[in-house]
Amino acid sequence: MRIILVLNPKGGSGKSTLATNIAGYFSLQGKVVTLADCDPQGSSRDWLSLRPKTHSLINGAVLKKEGLKIPDKTEILIMDTPAGLKDKRLKKFIAQAQTMVVPVIASPIDIRAAERFMKQIFSFKGTLNNRIKIATVANRVREDTLIAARLEYYLDTLKLPNGKKLPFITMLRASQNYIRAAEKGLSIFELAPSKTYYDREQWEPLLRWLSSQRSIPSR
Ligand SMILES: Nc1ncnc2c1ncn2[C@@H]1O[C@H](COP(=O)(O)OP(=O)(O)O)[C@@H](O)[C@H]1O
Ligand SMILES: [Mg+2]
């Protein structure tokens, strides 16, 4: 089973937005997808409850004390995580997954929080380089702003502890399409292509990365 973690301890960075859209995409591709909502706020769970029966089925799982109960046939498990994860709990999430996507908002506060978060995970010896593939995504970007350029520069120059570049995959613009889709339990890939053309284009590098060996550690 493929496990994709969407994680950034900063609230409102776009974890649930990315998790639900990734789930929608792979489900449209015919994969058996389970979306695990590990956040008590329940955004992903709510999204699933809004999902129309007419669309591809996405299994839901909720994190309980006993752990996660996941349907056996799951091919891709997407884990939406809560804000504020650190230390042991953070390590536990990271240890479970093969792939981690970190959305970062273009704001000074979010960039600083991302800097601290990266420092923390880079200090987890042995957890990273070979065991999990991490990539960043700039989210809710208003193009041609100074802060977007600053975020792009920061993400583009981030290095892993081994000196290799940490992949910065794409920039997603701030778009009402995400909000429209979320209200209906859909992904942007299930809205009219003519209205979501630009967003789909921005997603293309992330979908390619997630579908390729580049996002899977060689064990
Ligand atoms: N690219 C985007 N464009 C517009 N709104 C966005 C975008 N990404 C997220 N949002 C909105 O921002 C809010 C926070 O996003 P969310 O995915 O819930 O973050 P998190 O799960 O990290 O707390 C939500 O209302 C969501 O709809
Ligand atoms: Mg969330």
Least Cα distance to 26 among 157, 185, 218, 189 occurs for 189
pLDDT of 128 above 80: no
Backbone angles phi, psi at 148, to 5 degrees: -65, -40
Answer whether residue 219 is part of any domain: no
Q: What is the CATH number of the domain that holds 59?
A: 3.40.50.300
Owning domain of residue 143: 2-212
Give yes or no for a contact between 93 and 102, defined as CB atoms under 8 angstroms apart: no
Answer whether residue 217 is part of any domain: no
Least Cα distance to 35 among 62, 15, 17, 10 occurs for 62
pLDDT of 64 above 90: no
Answer whether residue 51 is part of any domain: yes
Give yes or no for a contact between 160 and 131, defined as CB atoms under 8 angstroms apart: no
Pocket test for ligand 1, best of 47, 105, 140 (most atoms within 8 A of CB): 140
Nearest alpha carbon, ligand 1 atom 17: 14
Query: DSSP labels for 176-214?
Result: HHHHHHHHTT--GGGS-HHHHHHHHHHHHHHHHHHHSGG
pLDDT of 192 above 60: yes
Pocket test for ligand 1, best of 8, 17, 109, 195 (most atoms within 8 A of CB): 17
Overall domain count for the chain: 1
If you ran DSSP here, which 8-state letter would residue 215 be given? G
Answer whether residue 26 is part of any domain: yes
Going edge to edge, which strands form the sheet with 99-105?
Answer: 59-62, 33-37, 76-80, 2-6, 99-105, 133-141, 168-173
Answer whether residue 14 is part of any domain: yes
Answer whether residue 99 is part of any domain: yes
Answer whether residue 218 is part of any domain: no
pTM for the complete prediction? 0.97
pLDDT of 67 above 70: yes
Per the model's pLDDT, the better-predicted residue between 63 and 77 turns out to be 77
Give yes or no for a contact between 217 and 133, defined as CB atoms under 8 angstroms apart: yes
